[in-house]
Structure 1
Amino acid sequence: MQKIEKRNSDQMIYDAKIPIRLAYTNNVDVPNVISLWFMKIDDKIYCATQKSAKIISYLKKNPVCGFEIAADKPPYKGVRGNGSAKIIDDMGKNILQLLMKKYLGEKESGLSKFLKNNSHNEVAIEITPKNLFYYDYSSRMKDVS
């Protein structure tokens, strides 16, 4: 893949208001997937969730994770990869605020009020990608809608 194509894919993928699908293993090593809001800052991917969410204990036990960021409608394009996750307790509220701005905008809503009221219990998930694979099937799906 040419560098320009990667850059365009990178921009589209990370700016899109779609969730990341984060794969992890639970306490008995069974694979699971969760969808979370995300954002890219420098070369890392950040999500936020409640401190009490089960995924937090699972990632603390085993930080190895897989992920995919892709739309559900054709033409299919996105990025998938793997890496390691780190839980950062004191960044949760700030990451949540950035995610709310990305996904909800500036408009006050019932959801934004709910999230703000519970933001004191948020933690950040910092994903450091190890391997990335960009894909874009636009050329082979020109006539698919």
Structure 2
Amino acid sequence: MQKLSPHKLDSMVHDKKIPIRLAFIKPDGTPNVISLWYEIENEKIFCATQKTAKIVSYLKNNPKCGFEIAADKPPYKGVRGDGAVKIIEEKGAEILETLMKKYLGEKESTLSKFLRDNSKSEVAIEITPNKLFNYDYSKRMKDA
């Protein structure tokens, strides 16, 4: 397995504030995708969401996932892969705070206040990647 490091990812994806697209399977077998804020720590990907969010029960039911972190504008490049998820209740508020600094900055806003007010019911989603695939279509899209 390739290592997933923030530095490697930063060289692939220049917009640091893009979300991760997390694919999962619902209990009825239907695949689905959700976009979440993410942070990479010790070769794992962390997200946060409310404990009552449906994604939490779906991932507890089936911890296998797929993911992609990539910009939406040409030239397309990023990383995608699959992995296993663990829900960590006691780390939710801590991860949320890290994500808010990354995506919202230090400035107090309506959104940051709302998120902090509800942080006690946040859980962390820890993704341990199994396989990673980096892609960069810059050469073939140089005139796009």
Q: Same fold (TM over 0.5)?
A: yes
Deviating 4+ runs (over 6 angstroms): none
* Partner residue in 1 for 2:107: 107
TM-score by length of 1: 0.91
**Going by fraction, where is helix more abundant, 1 or 2?**
1
* Partner residue in 2 for 1:34: 34
CA distance in 2, matches of 1:43, 1:8: 11
* Partner residue in 1 for 2:9: 10
Q: Identify if the C-alpha distance between structure 1 residues 58 and 122 changes in structure 2 by more than 3 Å, giving closer, same or farther.
A: same
Unaligned runs of 5+ in 1: none
SS at match of 2:107: coil
Q: Identify if the C-alpha distance between structure 1 residues 95 and 34 changes in structure 2 by more than 3 Å, giving closer, same or farther.
A: same
CA distance in 2, matches of 1:98, 1:21: 18
Unaligned runs of 5+ in 2: none
- CA drift of 1:14 comes to 8.7
Identity of aligned residues (%): 65
CA distance in 2, matches of 1:130, 1:93: 26
| Equivalences, count | 140
RMSD: 1.9
* Partner residue in 2 for 1:65: 65
* Partner residue in 2 for 1:75: 75
